[in-house]
Amino acid sequence: MFKQLLAAVFTFAFVQLQAQEKQNTPVDHSYKPMMIKLDDKGQKFIRFITWHQIWASYTNNNPGTVDINGNVQKNNADLSIRRSRVLIQAQISPRFMIVSHFGINNQSFANGGSAGTLGTGASATGQGGKRPQIYIHDAWTEFAIKPGKLHVGAGLHYWNGVSRFSSHSTLNFMTADAPIFNWFNIDATDQFARQLGIYAKGQLGRFDYRVHLNKPFAFGSALSAITSPVASNVLNENWSTGGYFNYMFRDKESNVLPYFVGTYLGAKKVFNIGAGWYSHKGATASKASSTASVVQHTQKNFGLDVYLDMPLNKKKGTAFNLYSVLYKYDFGPNYLRNIGILNLHASVQALTSNPDASWAGGGNLQPTIGTGEIWYTQAGYLLPKLKNGTAFMPFATFTYKNFERIGKASGQYDLGMNYFINGHNAKITLQYSNRPVYKTVSGNPERNGSKGQLILQTQIFL
C-alpha cells in the first residue's frame, strides 16, 4: 500500500506542476547563487549554500527485526531528514579561502537526536529522534601558492583519496544517495567522511590531483581488549595518507571546492579516469588465538574509476551518465561493518526463537564496508526536456561485493527515477534498493535471500 502511495505522490506532483505551467505565466526557476560581493571584480566574496533532503521510505526489514516495543516488525514506513546543511565559502582575497560547513544528518522519529528521549520504558536508554546536535562537516582554510596549480590547506577537510565518490558532492547525486562504501571510514575514524589534516591540490593541464596527511579520529578499542581473530578498530595516534589523481580527457572540472559532481545533466562533456589510495598504520588489530599475541594491521584502501557525463542531443536536452569504480579494501583479516542508512530498528530476535534472524542486525542493516573487493557501476539517461523545462532521468546501479568475512560474493541493485523541476536545485527522486540478507549458521553468515527498500526524496538547495 505504501509503495503505491509513494508512486501516487510522485505522479501527482508532476501533474500539478504541468497544470500550473499551462494555466499561469511560466514560473522563473532560474537560480542565482546567494553571494555577497566584497569587491567590484567579484574576486572577493562570501557565498552561502543551504539544502534539505527529506526522505519518505518504506522498508522490508531484515528477518527477525523487532521495533521499539520489542515486537517483530516485517515492514516499516518513516519520514526523515537525510541531510540539512549550510555551507559558507569565503574568498577573502584571490589567494585565501575559508570554508565552513555544518548541519545534521539522519534524523528520524526514533534516532539521530539526543540520548534518552524514547520515553520511560525499556527503550529509554536508546537514542531518540528529537533535538539532533548540529555539527561541523568542513572547517578548513586554504592558500594558493601557485593559483590553480598548487593550493595547500588545513583543518577538518573533505579532500579525500581513493575515488571520485570518496569526495562526492551531496547536492547532485544521480541516485538518491551514495552507496556509502565510497566513504570507507564513515563515522569510524572520520567525522562523516572528514578528518583533521593538511592537504594539497591543484591542476596541471588536464591532470587533477589531491593528496593529504591526516590525523584520524581516535576510534575503537584498546589493544589489551582485542581477543578475536576478526580485525577491529583500535585506538592509535598514527597519521594517515591518501590521494586521488584524475585525468580529464574532455572538459575540465572545477576543483575550487573538493565536492565532485554526480551528474552535470548535459551541461559539460566530461570523461575522466582516476585512481587513489588511503593508508593508516595500525588502524585495526586481531588475535589469532587465546595464546597468540595481538597483531596490528595497516588499513589500505585503493580505488580505480572511470566517469562519463555527456550531452547527447543539446536541442532536446538529453544526456548520458556512467560511473564505474573498483575498490580493493584491506582493513585486516575478516574486518566487516554492517551499515544501514536511517535504520530505525537494529535489534533482532534471538537465534533460539528465530533461526532465520538477520546476522547483520535488524531494519536495513547490510554488510557494507570490509576487507575484500567492491565493484560499483551506475548509469542514467536524461530524457528530453518537457515544454516547461522539467525533465526525467531514469537510472540503475549494480554492486558486486566480495568480502573475506562472508566468503561468497553477492550482487545487488538500485532502480530509480529523477524528476528535475529545476535541475538539482529542485528535484524529486524515487528509488527502489535491493540488498542481500544473511542468517547465522554456526556463528557465520549465510545468504538468506534479499530485501528491498523504497525511497521518495525531495531536494531543494539554494
- In whole angstroms, give the CA distance from residue 186 to residue 61: 23
Q: What share of the chain is helix, strand, coil (3-state, %, to 5)?
A: 5, 50, 40
Instruction: Assess contact for 138 and 227: CB atoms under 8 A.
Output: no
Q: Please name which of 133, 254, 140 lies closest in space to residue 194, comparing C-alpha atoms.
A: 140
In the chain, domain spans: 2-461
Residue with cell 572547517: 139
- In whole angstroms, give the CA distance from residue 182 to residue 192: 12
Instruction: Assess contact for 460 and 52: CB atoms under 8 A.
Output: yes
- In whole angstroms, give the CA distance from residue 203 to residue 281: 29
pTM of the model: 0.92
CA geometry: angle 355, 356, 357, nearest 5 deg: 95
One pLDDT digit (tens) per residue for the chain, 462 residues: 555 555 555 555 555 555 555 555 566 667 778 888 888 877 899 999 999 999 999 999 999 999 989 999 999 999 999 999 999 999 988 899 999 999 999 999 988 886 655 554 444 445 578 888 899 999 999 999 999 999 999 999 999 999 999 999 999 999 999 999 999 999 999 999 999 999 999 999 999 999 999 999 999 999 999 999 999 999 999 999 999 999 999 999 999 999 999 999 999 999 999 999 999 999 999 999 989 999 999 999 999 999 999 999 989 999 999 999 999 999 999 999 999 999 999 999 999 899 999 999 999 999 999 999 999 999 999 999 999 999 999 999 999 999 999 999 999 999 999 999 999 999 999 999 999 999 999 999 999 999 999 999 999 999
**Computed over its alpha carbons, how large is the radius of gyration of the chain?**
23
Using DSSP's 3-state secondary structure scheme, residue 7 falls into: helix
User: Between the CA of residue 115 and those of 78, 81, 125, 301, 459, what are the distances in Å?
Assistant: 20, 18, 7, 34, 28
How many CB atoms neighbour CB 215 within 10 A?
Answer: 14
Q: What CATH code is assigned to 2-461?
A: 2.40.160.10
